[in-house]
Structures are given as structure tokens and as C-alpha cells.
Structure 1
Amino acid sequence: MNIAQVDLNLLKTFEALHDESSASRAALRLGVTQSAISAGLRRLRELYGDPLFVRTGRGLAPTLRANQLKPVISEALDRCRQSLAMISPQNLHYEGRSVVLGLSDDFEIAYGRSLMEAIALRLPKLRVIFRQTYSQIVAAALLDRTLDLAITAGGFTERRLSRQVLGEGDYRCLVDPHSLAPGEETIDLQGFVTREHVLVSSGGFIGITDEGLAAHGLRRHVCASTSHFAALPYLLKGSTAVATIPGHAAHVIAQMTGLRVLPCPLALPHYPVELGWRTQAQLDPLLLKVREAIVACFTLPPPSAC
């Protein structure tokens, strides 16, 4: 196959179909008709000798070959975008472009709004897409180009990734203030163990609090677990349960919902908050500006004041 015979706009059609899982949404994204997308998909199927996308009850699902092609095609398109940015580095028009930022929902709750503002200040009209990730899966997501950048508590040791430390995190307790005695501002370790606990965990069984209690020969009773920090206000309100979560999220959730933040009576280790990206993409002007915005946001006062 001679590349001179290939319409390179088909690569944009492929990327839009893979990201949107819908011909109609891909058409809206590219500003073309749905019939143009369908025609492009037919040509892509001929070009690669594969169905690429198959219709399911939830839209278009990529085939194995499509998933293999996605990182290669996205990288090629990013290189083209980067070359155009080199012609006009001071260009302030980013409408139609997007960046995918991976982070867990505790960071999204605490920093999402200030990240939106910081990015909009430097890259007007750029769309930021927040996508859920965590340290155990973030490296693979960056390398397969599901994410452009990510903020997690580590996970960037793969040699093709670069990282920057943004700060250090700790843990706090979150409770319904009505479950506290009048004037009670803390709970001791015995009261902590006595209470029921709500666990936030992707696995749903064991958390860092359990490890810390085990070192003291203690155990807690977890009455419920969830994978989303955003669910905590609904699970804690009206109960005597406690949730031990990252401090940045605890302060913002308390500020928005009326829950109370208390010091954790258990000595739990602090953890690094890191920004990671593909080393190969570190000279992309757009990503450089987004990284600057992220670093600026994390040098502001604590999230409760952002």
C-alpha cells in the first residue's frame, strides 16, 4: 500500500470513532455528516482489511486490530499537531482540541475546578477530559495513549514514562458531625475502632487503614465499601460511620456537604502526589502548557481554599 494513495483524513475519522464509539458523535466531533463518517469507515475497513468497529447494543466497539492501531494512529496525529504548533507557538486558539487527564475521583473532587480554570487561562477553548485511573493501571493507560497525562500516588516507574512530584498527601477522617458528642473535636483510637467504617477501594476489601490497625493488633468493621469518593456524603450522612480518606478530598467534601474532618488517630504513611506523562511526548507545546497549569494549581493553598 502506497501512502500517497491514502487520504490521511481517514486517520482522524478512525480516532474519532475509537474515542466516541458512535458514528453520529464522531460526525459531530469532526464537523462532518454521519454519511461522511460511514463512508470513511468503509474506506478504513478496506485499507486495513478488518471490520475495525462492530455494532453492539452500546454503540461501536473496536476490534482487536483497531485497539492495536489506536496508539500508532494517535501518535501520528499528535506528531502532525505538534508540527503545526511549531509554526505558530504563540497560537492561543485551541478550540476543537482536547487533552485527556487521568486521575482518581478524590483528586478530581479536590482539584478538578481549579485545574479547569488554570488550563483555560493558558489554553483557551481547550477541552480537558478527566478520566478515572489509579497507580496500579496508570502506566499502561499512558503507554496505550488512553491518557495524555495523569495525576496519581505513584505508578510512573516504567522507563518510557517521566514524572514530576507535585506534593505529598496524608489521610484524614470524615464523619457526620451529629455523630460526635458536644465539643468533641477528635476521636481516639479506641473510638475509631469501635465505629463502623466506610471503605473507599477499587477492590472493596482491604485498605491502608486495615494495614495500619493490624500493626497494633486491631481490626475494624467495614459496614460498606465503594469505589467512588463522591458517594461518601450519601453513605455517611445520618450514620455514625467514619471514612478514612486522603486529606485533600476530605476537606473539600466536608466544605461542600457539612461533614466534619477529624485527624486520623492512626499513624498512616504520607504518600507522593505525582504527575506522569509519556517521555516521548514531553516536547509537545500543548502538553507542556497543560503541565504548567497543573503544577501551578498544586502550588496554590490547600484544596479547601482553591
Structure 2
Amino acid sequence: MAQPPDFANIDLHLVKVLYTVVSEQSVSRAALRLGSGQPLVSAQLRRLRALTGDPLLVRAGAGLAPTDTALALLAPAERLLREAETLFGPARPGRAFEPAQATLTMRIAASDYLDPLFLPGVVARLQQLAPQARLELHPLSAEFDYRRKLAGGEVDLVIGNWLEPPGELHLGRLSADEVVCLVAADHPAVKNPRGWTVARYLDSDHIAPTPLHPGARGVIDEHLALQGLERRITVRCAHFSLAPQMVAQSRLVLTTGRQFCQRFAGGPAALRIVKCPLAFPPMAYYQLWHERSHASAAQRWLREQVRGVASELAAPGTAKARP
């Protein structure tokens, strides 16, 4: 007959080790996330194996894979950690957040389709109002599972644009922007605006961001697909901020928000903004967060600062500044 677990030998940190090791599927990566040494995490994993009666991680090719038991333990571990954060963390009832004295780390993942002045504005505001806090900025990429990162508390906010944001997350709308085309000054769309038809737009050489996950289209191509249309994408670029320079030296067309484009138009790059010959809905930008941080006073404050920066940049008369 199996003996019941000895709860005197289980502490909250051990639950965090369980969650981290199974999530990362790697002892070394878990040690980095936990700020611990690999030998210590290996010893804690041995304790967890003894407590659960399961290997938790097993060899799979060159790496490790979680067992069925380990996967089943992820959700309970995440709930337990979230409840502990409510009990003892900055979000606990009755504790006010004081940004000037805050020493916490704030983690934001954001796409680089945003206005180039947006993230610098967020950094400047947080440095001014919460000078002792630390800020980590993470890029959104095909390898970055932002839904899992939010659920696991590895990031606090995700900022980007989606035609339909994930339904299980909280969202706050930051801004909406007109969709336009950015082209070189000598592009046919500039020289002959009347000839810039839907057919010519679709048949042009387009540059588009690398999809965030396999099969993803992006908001522009999703909208085109709904109308039974498809453009010709000849360049996919994971570094969206470099796209304007690529456009300036080619016949490529970049279709995105006006706010992004206006930071690059004119000047020595010889770039021009032209209207899209077909109607796109406004490009909406959101900040997304998980239920686990919804009630946190610190996280509410962070979301307010992000929203404030977005509102300032979207206000009429905002200076056009090239990064």
C-alpha cells in the first residue's frame, strides 16, 4: 500500500521547481530561470521523483520529455503558485503599490511592428516613475509561446496586434491605426497614383513579417483571405524594424500602420506613404495579460503606464522622429 506524501518535506519552492523543470523540459534551463545551480535543481528533481513516484522527465532523443504524470501536475502546480502569489505577493489585498520604492522586475513581450518610439517611451516613463524597478523586454517570435509564458508568470504583458486576440486572456486596447503602404520614392505607386489599383497592389512584391507560429498569416493576409484575395510576398523578415531600409532600396511594398510608417517617411531614406488601394480595417494594438496578474496593484499600474504612452503617441501633433 502506497504511503501518503509527507507534507513536512514539501515546501513552496519545491512546487516552483516542479513547475519550472517540467515547463522547460531541461534541468539547465530551469536552473537559469530559478537563479539556482544545476546540481541543486538536479537534487530537487530527485526529491520530486521520490515524492511523486514518477520520473517526471525521461530521455527523448537528444533532450528530455515530460511524462504523462508530469503534464498532469503542471496545472495544479500553477494554481498553487498563483494562490501563493495572491497570499504573499504584491497583489495581496490591502497592499498599495508605491512605484518610487518598487524593486520588482517587470517583463514585457512586444512585437516590433509597433511605433519605433513606443518602447523607448515606456522605458523612459518607468525609469522616471519607478527608478529602482527592473524591466525586461522580450521579442515576440515564432519560438516565443506568449500564452504559456503569461500563464506561467514568465512575462507580465504582451503587446502586439491581432485580428482576434486569444479569448482566454484579458486585453486592453491601446490604439487603432490606419493601414497604409510604405514604398520607395521612385515606386510606381508614387509616380502614378491613379494606376495604383487593387490588381497592381496584389501583384507587387511585398515584404511581410515572419509568422509568429506555423500557419499564421498575420492581420493583413488574414483580412485579404477573408475576401478571397492573396498578395505576392517575396520577402519574409523577422526583423520588422529593418524593413523600411529594405523597401527604400527596392520595389518592395510594406503594408502596416501609418504610425510606424510616418517615423521613416521622407528624409534621406527617400520613403513615401501611399494609401492602400483596397480598404483594410484599422490595425488595432492591444496589451494582453493573464488572470493570474489581473488583480495585482503593481501590474495594474504597469498597464496604466503602457496605455498612457500609447495615448500620447497617438495624439494629434505628436512629433515625427526617426529612431
Asked if Structure 1 and Structure 2 have the same fold, meaning a TM-score greater than 0.5 normalized by the shorter chain, the answer is yes
Contact preservation (8 Å) 1:187, 1:265: no
1:245 paired residue among 256, 274, 288: 256
2:121 paired residue among 109, 114, 119: 114
The within-5 A match list for 1:175-194 is: 175-177=183-185, 179-180=186-187, 188-190=195-197, 192=201
Give the aligned partner of residue 155 of structure 1. Answer: 164
Give the aligned partner of residue 200 of structure 1. Answer: 209
Q: CA deviation at 1:246?
A: 2.7
TM-superposition CA deviations, 1:243-262 (whole Å, max 9, x none): 21233433446699936241
Residue 176 of structure 1 aligns to which amino acid in structure 2?
Answer: A
Q: Secondary structure at the match of 2:114?
A: helix
Give the aligned partner of residue 126 of structure 1. Answer: 134
Q: CA deviation at 1:39?
A: 0.6
2:18 paired residue among 14, 24, 35: 14
TM-superposition CA deviations, 1:50-81 (whole Å, max 9, x none): 33344678765545544444444344334333
Q: How many Å separate the matches in 1 of 2:39 and 2:110?
A: 36
Contact preservation (8 Å) 1:102, 1:132: yes
TM-superposition CA deviations, 1:155-182 (whole Å, max 9, x none): 3573x543322221221212234x348x
Q: How many Å separate the matches in 2 of 1:67 and 1:230?
A: 38
Contact preservation (8 Å) 1:186, 1:262: no
Q: Secondary structure at the match of 1:105?
A: coil
Structure 1 gap segments, 5+ residues each: none
Give the aligned partner of residue 34 of structure 1. Answer: 38
Distance 1:163 1:199, change over 3 A: closer
**Bigger mean CA deviation after superposition, 121-130 or 184-193:** 184-193
Q: Secondary structure at the match of 1:301?
A: helix
Q: Secondary structure at the match of 2:113?
A: helix
Distance 1:69 1:229, change over 3 A: farther
The within-5 A match list for 1:130-145 is: 130-132=138-140, 142=150
The within-5 A match list for 1:158-169 is: 158=167, 161-169=169-177
Give the aligned partner of residue 173 of structure 1. Answer: 181
Count how many residue pairs are aligned between Structure 1 and Structure 2. 298
TM-score when normalising by structure 2: 0.69
The within-5 A match list for 1:188-267 is: 188-190=195-197, 192=201, 195-200=204-209, 202=211, 203=215, 208=220, 220-226=231-237, 229-230=240-241, 232-233=243-244, 235-252=246-263, 258=269, 260-266=271-277, 267=279
Identity score, percent: 23
Q: CA deviation at 1:34?
A: 2.4
Structure 2 gap segments, 5+ residues each: none
Q: CA deviation at 1:184?
A: 5.2
**Bigger mean CA deviation after superposition, 3-12 or 51-60:** 51-60
Q: How many Å separate the matches in 1 of 2:219 and 2:69?
A: 38
Distance 1:40 1:284, change over 3 A: same
Q: How many Å separate the matches in 2 of 1:210 and 1:6?
A: 49
Distance 1:259 1:66, change over 3 A: farther
Q: How many Å separate the matches in 1 of 2:271 and 2:63?
A: 43
Q: Secondary structure at the match of 1:199?
A: strand
Q: CA deviation at 1:241?
A: 1.7
Distance 1:281 1:173, change over 3 A: same
TM-score when normalising by structure 1: 0.72
Q: CA deviation at 1:6?
A: 0.8
Q: How many Å separate the matches in 1 of 2:115 and 2:80?
A: 30
Contact preservation (8 Å) 1:71, 1:144: no
Distance 1:59 1:125, change over 3 A: farther
Give the aligned partner of residue 80 of structure 2. Answer: 76
